[in-house]
Structure 1
Amino acid sequence: MLPRPVVVGVDGSPSALAAVEAAAQEARMRGAKLHVVHAFIWPAMHVPPGGSPLGPPAGGVQESVEHLLAEAVERALAAAPGVVADQAVIAGQAVTALEAESRTAQLMVVGHRGSGGFAGLLLGSTSVHLAAHSRCPVIVVRDRMANDGPVLVAVAGTPHNRGVITYAFEEASLRGADLVALHVAGTWSDHGDTRPADLVDLSGDGAMLQADEERLLDEALSGHREEHPEVTVHARVVRGRTRPTLIEASRGAQLTVVGTRGHGGFTGLLLGSVSQAVLHHAHCPVAVVRSDLDLP
């Protein structure tokens, strides 16, 4: 049985072309096919697919889309020689088309900022919606993927974090990279510059709380370490505010992995504030893994 494809959404923008290169490399690492998708709402354009009777014969929308896809596939093959790639134009809005594609994909890859057919592909809209609702992990690419540095995973210390850690170990293994498992502990709130004393200050026993946090982190990683002995793990417990700490840690990473809240609470809040902040401000591509996904 062939592995499920890696799907990338394209629109011709520099961000989308960077996503194509990243997706091609991901597909090659997985031995999977690359599926290049462009979503287009033909009826809303009120133009025929072919050229205008008053214009050049090759000046139609269809030719433009075909050129866009051909350029994307060419970019993919240059980035990952030997990868098998196909392409498709899907009628519909970008977010709807990509969410449907995610049901049969093992990974979705999108750029952080789009144009044209993916005009809504800006952080805070399509990419955020897809990260929260995709039926497979999503990588949001900023510029080019880095080929060095560790994979960084945010460990929240909850049962829902297991799928996030599983995916981070798999990515580190595929890339031959170290894994930095970062747990940010000891803060009451991430809002504002002023807050009550943190847990360590209140307890008066910082060493004990630090030891407890390190033990919980080791327990969260233990089974995964046995499954992936080839991955060198750096487990770190850091006191600080979660969002700025993770964003700063992403500077030296080639990929940051974060999770969502799953199906609890309001569906519009599936992507928590920490994950949204990392998506907006991380210094490397970000992989978002829904907590309720059954990863293969």
Structure 2
Amino acid sequence: MSEPIVVGIDGSEESDHALQWAAAEAALRERPLHIVHTLESWPYKAPLFKPAESTERMTRAGHRLLTAARERVLERRPALEVTTALVAEETSQALRDQSDKAFELVLGSRGRGGFAGMLLGSTSLRMAARPTVPVVIVRGDTGDRGEIVVGIDLLRDSGAVLDYALEAAALHDARLRVVHAWQTFGTLIEAGYAVDAEQIELDLRAQTIDAYKPLRTEYPRVDVVDEIIMEHPVTALSNASRNARLLVVGAHQRHWSAPRLGSIAHGAIHHARCPVAVIPST
């Protein structure tokens, strides 16, 4: 069986959007869909604080939620292979375990119930901060039109990020916009340095083309455009996401303390107008 697409649900409107996005993605990629709902694990570990009938009620409600979600998916996509899992465990750990061998993990931008912490800055951000597989956070416009936008950092290896973005563009028959934003330009001008803006842009564009050129032979039919923007990367990506169906960024974790999402990916998740795919660092 091919690697599944895993989606976490909790019954909220946001998680339902994530479910529908994940189902469409699974059908397009011809992969199984695995739907996960978590229950707070502490009632099972501390029965003195939670009556047995309460935990049983939570379990029944969780099973009903999963059954209804599976039925909604199969109603629209009867040929899709769909499995479910109800897990009594801390949410982040449950999602990590369930998606360990997945193709990607899909989450809503915020949630409730078993995903009570799934606000931006909580579960979704924790999963994106230390991804072992691509993590897609579904927010904004989830329509099936528009281009794929990928933001790249020329100081890092962007191979995995570009490969995911090119494959997505090929699958969706969409144009790929490769964006590199360079804020230092404005800083140098403000500091009084003489700057050859035209030459800097030419150099950055050449480096951007060199970054994705090795992958073009694998996706010859994808229409690729590159864009060099002299402004903050988060602003540039947020603006580009207005006309996009998907924004792709790298996780670029910081390793000197607890795992934290890189500032660009963090900002993109907060401000994007479309779903955001965060790709693990290589």
User: 1:220 aligned to 190, 201, 211, which one?
Assistant: 211
TM-aligned CA deviation for residue 159 of structure 1: 3.5
Q: What code does the residue aligned with 2:198 have?
A: A
Which residue of the partner structure matches residue 177 of structure 1?
A: 174
Cα-to-partner distance string for 1:62-81 (whole Å, 9 max, x where unaligned): 32112211121123224544
TM-aligned CA deviation for residue 43 of structure 1: 4.2
RMSD, aligned α-carbons: 2.1
Q: Which moved more, 1:75-84 or 1:171-180?
A: 75-84
TM-aligned CA deviation for residue 144 of structure 1: 5.7
| Paired residues, number | 277
Which residue of the partner structure matches residue 206 of structure 1?
A: 197
Q: Describe how 1:223-238 pairs up with structure 2 within 5 A.
A: 223-238=214-229
Secondary structure in structure 2 of the residue aligned to 1:183: strand
CA distance in 2, matches of 1:217, 1:137: 22
Q: Is the 8 A contact 1:40 1:117 kept in 2?
A: yes
User: 1:278 aligned to 256, 268, 271, which one?
Assistant: 268
Q: Is the 8 A contact 1:181 1:235 kept in 2?
A: yes
Q: Describe how 1:131-142 pairs up with structure 2 within 5 A.
A: 131-142=128-139
Which residue of the partner structure matches residue 47 of structure 1?
A: 51
**1:258 has 2:249 as partner:** yes
Which residue of the partner structure matches residue 77 of structure 1?
A: 74
CA distance in 1, matches of 2:264, 2:60: 42
Q: Which moved more, 1:241-250 or 1:136-145?
A: 136-145
Cα-to-partner distance string for 1:242-269 (whole Å, 9 max, x where unaligned): 1111101100000000112246433433
User: 1:148 aligned to 145, 150, 166, which one?
Assistant: 145
Which residue of the partner structure matches residue 93 of structure 1?
A: 90
Distance 1:6 1:78, change over 3 A: same
Cα-to-partner distance string for 1:78-126 (whole Å, 9 max, x where unaligned): 4544211011101101111001122111110000010001001111011
Cα-to-partner distance string for 1:134-170 (whole Å, 9 max, x where unaligned): 2100000015622010000001113422111111111
Structure 1: tracts of 5 or more residues without a match: 53-59, 190-194
Structure 2: tracts of 5 or more residues without a match: 45-49
Distance 1:198 1:177, change over 3 A: farther
Q: Is the 8 A contact 2:140 2:272 kept in 1?
A: no
TM-score (norm 1): 0.87
Q: Which moved more, 1:241-250 or 1:67-76?
A: 67-76
Cα-to-partner distance string for 1:218-277 (whole Å, 9 max, x where unaligned): 1001011111012110111111121111101100000000112246433433x1111111
CA distance in 1, matches of 2:148, 2:156: 21
Q: Is the 8 A contact 1:50 1:63 kept in 2?
A: no
Q: What code does the residue aligned with 1:29 have?
A: L
Distance 1:135 1:76, change over 3 A: same
Distance 1:202 1:49, change over 3 A: farther
Q: What code does the residue aligned with 2:148 have?
A: V
Which residue of the partner structure matches residue 26 of structure 1?
A: 25
